[in-house]
Structure 1
């Protein structure tokens, strides 16, 4: 039996697309771990000064970062930092997306069930902080009916939950310390609990909070690897840690950030801040645009194919299209990002870098919406157009390509422009898996400057400018196509 080309073609396209997606997950053969060509991947939370943060030159600095660097130099291994928020870092370590984690991470019995820890390299306890002008809260007994801001997965959050057993406390949870502090400073929460050195450093650098109570007994921080994995990395960390304790490097690093001679950041004003952080924001914007254009280009091809599936006479292709659109539109983008970056590596025992996971996440999500727009555009073309073409003896595929699709494209353009803008804004969600795009760049800058109000105005203005320019360009293209 002769098979018609127009029925085979969609299957070929679908097969090629599936090969492309699966190719993104391919795992290369690795050299010896820890050498220059295959460094250890270490995650850290770069919004947790003074332990880890980014300076105005874009370099990662802080107690944890410099301790790791000193140990790596002493032991002769190479590593690459993978910044992400604390809870995402824990998931990345658990799913073997990274080899180790150093992020002011307290060694607790619960965590020791999932991770192997190094010897302790720092000791610090959590402390309660309130607004500078707050005279109501002077002890834990004053927390009845109050709201506390905490950072997800930290000992501060654990202490808040413990206090909530004895007092009527509401808890707001955040992914980074800077946002948590600003929530209190803005009056949305009455207080916050975080590690004392972190909060003291923030107050020293201008954060308008104060301590109504003394710090709790200290927890010890440790470097972590996944349970039963990378024992050689843990051994090297412990050996290097002993060395830097002995030669005084450890004390030198900690006193640099927590000593009396610690430099305090000077206020530069709005325009001074803009000048200082502009290069960092432009780097973040570049990543945002790359993510958007690459993902949208992939989605435009894939979405057109899947959209055509729904318009073909084939019942099988109709079902495939319907299932894809229903499933992918029904999954929140943040859940899809977590699935691609954390669950897929565990299921298939592979590693996927954050950028690839981000591209695939955006592409899968955007494809579903473009497929619906293609289906709607085709449905909007009067059915008589297709019937007239077929009555003239044109095959189905030719009738679609020459008659229906040109009209459908003009109908779809406004929706596609809108989808492009949505995809651009959706890139901000990918910061959750460690991609330093524009929004995450803003968070990192806030972590060192504590200028959240001015920073979000700047970030918002950049988004508004770019989206307005792209919309104008797209509108011009739309008018030209419509006039053809």
Structure 2
């Protein structure tokens, strides 16, 4: 166990050893989804003025990226994109994980309560994206969508526009535009509310989608705050706000229109020719062959986090199990401390077993930075989150494993003069480890799958990497089938390895028993 833990910490040093604090001064850290073309997208090289994405070998480009480059240049810094889920952008900003948000974000009143906004750098226009061959393909007014199943992006002002449609069948808001396009192409929804540039991108990517632009008076009623897109900044960062507004003042409306037209022309949207369809598995093979480095990196991070998290979590569980079965101290003061610490452990176990890992991720990664100023690397934070979450579950598993050991063995050890520590180390724990192996293996498999929730703190694990590929190719079902296959291979392999370890344990135990 000690050798395994040392190896895990060595792996952590390799991953985080190259992180430099000097980056904070050298780079302007800009938060965006990098999955909302043409405002921002992910690509594999630095062509057309793309900038690097933190923690990956990929780059981001788009209208937002070019605006961010102008701001960074004025500050004498290099732009660095911090790829962040839409719902995590404001927490990332307020917790100082990023310096600003440049992500096609509108300046709603609710957001102004949390952050400051610069002057507008683009004026949006809400439209509806529908199936090009569906019943709403010829809609011309908002009334034509009566009874339609419509959705929009979660946390976006576009969600509030849905109710303006008469008798609309409002669908649950979705996390990103990739999910909405997939839902539309599969017939789950009839359309989603978007903005003109994104809708043009969807049309260019696939003939499946059609943009419905509604004329003034026949469309949605919006306020200037809703359609004004601006740079998001922390409330106390007034100096940067002034700098950003000066930069934006130098970009005329004509220049902004030219920039958007240029960005739309260079976006890497892949046009799918419906007349040249290939087989489903051929499409999967193509996706895998073109994007295998992304899948490989995501798989590596998933394995790293799940392995270290399971090993450290099991160690935590063993230590808690040993402590909770220790006899009460003779000294009253020590006994009181022992009891108090036991209560702390109970709170830890109940909290981490009673709350979802996705919530724990947001609280630990963003909350600690916002409340205490503790800035943790996101991958290290992921390892900590999985470890302490696993530890809470493993402590109960270990407790059950200890109780499964015959009480007579405890009594015999006491009669031989063994201390509690010696009894645990030499007699009980070897049996407990064997007994809990199946449950530990199950936790390992669960951790491999549950790392997918860590995308909320922008950890580039397998799901995050695969979702990026899906937004680039517009082939969502095929891409997620590839992701599912990789997860299955990982979990199936781990299960087979653990079964082999169990058999070896049993063989060694039988051999040792025969030797005696």
Structure-1 residue corresponding to 2:246: 239
Structure-2 residue corresponding to 1:35: 25
**Structure 1 residues 44-443: aligned runs within 5 Å:** 44-57=32-45, 58-136=58-136, 138=139, 139-160=141-162, 162-163=163-164, 166-206=166-206, 208-214=208-214, 219-229=227-237, 231-243=238-250, 245=252, 250=256, 253-259=259-265, 265-267=270-272, 269-314=283-328, 316=339, 318-443=342-467
What TM-score results when the alignment is normalised by the length of structure 1?
A: 0.86
Distance, in Å, in 1 between the alignment partners of 2:287 and 2:20 is 45
Contact 1:413 1:478 in 2 (8 A): yes
Contact 1:115 1:225 in 2 (8 A): yes
Shift of 1:381: 1.0
Residue 244 to residue 212, structure 1, CA distance change in 2 (3 Å): closer
Distance, in Å, in 1 between the alignment partners of 2:82 and 2:187 is 33
Secondary structure at the aligned position of 1:223 is classed as strand
Distance, in Å, in 1 between the alignment partners of 2:300 and 2:454 is 14
Shift of 1:247: 11
Distance, in Å, in 1 between the alignment partners of 2:252 and 2:306 is 47
Note the alpha carbon deviations across 1:383-414, whole angstroms, 9 max, x for none.
Answer: 11111121222222212211111111111111
Distance, in Å, in 1 between the alignment partners of 2:42 and 2:445 is 29
Secondary structure at the aligned position of 1:292 is classed as helix
Count of residue correspondences:
449
Note the alpha carbon deviations across 1:419-455, whole angstroms, 9 max, x for none.
Answer: 1111111110000111111101111111121110110
Residue 192 to residue 359, structure 1, CA distance change in 2 (3 Å): same
Contact 1:207 1:450 in 2 (8 A): no
Distance, in Å, in 2 between the alignment partners of 1:254 and 1:213 is 18
Shift of 1:222: 0.9
Distance, in Å, in 2 between the alignment partners of 1:188 and 1:272 is 26
Contact 2:38 2:267 in 1 (8 A): no
Contact 2:302 2:448 in 1 (8 A): yes
Distance, in Å, in 1 between the alignment partners of 2:295 and 2:207 is 23
Structure-1 residue corresponding to 2:469: 445
Give RMSD over aligned pairs. 2.6
Note the alpha carbon deviations across 1:246-300, whole angstroms, 9 max, x for none.
Answer: 995x5554222225x8665244833222211111111111111121122223212
Distance, in Å, in 1 between the alignment partners of 2:124 and 2:507 is 68
Structure-2 residue corresponding to 1:481: 505
Distance, in Å, in 2 between the alignment partners of 1:479 and 1:99 is 53
Secondary structure at the aligned position of 1:435 is classed as coil
Greater alpha carbon shift after TM alignment, 39-48 vs 306-315: 306-315
Secondary structure at the aligned position of 2:172 is classed as strand
Residue 460 to residue 264, structure 1, CA distance change in 2 (3 Å): closer
Secondary structure at the aligned position of 1:187 is classed as coil
Structure 2 unaligned blocks of 5 or more: 1-18, 46-57, 273-277, 329-337, 509-516
Shift of 1:244: 5.1
Distance, in Å, in 1 between the alignment partners of 2:269 and 2:472 is 11
Structure 1 unaligned blocks of 5 or more: 1-27
Shift of 1:243: 4.1
Shift of 1:373: 1.3
What TM-score results when the alignment is normalised by the length of structure 2?
A: 0.81
Contact 1:70 1:244 in 2 (8 A): no
Distance, in Å, in 2 between the alignment partners of 1:81 and 1:442 is 19
Shift of 1:187: 1.3
Structure-2 residue corresponding to 1:23: none
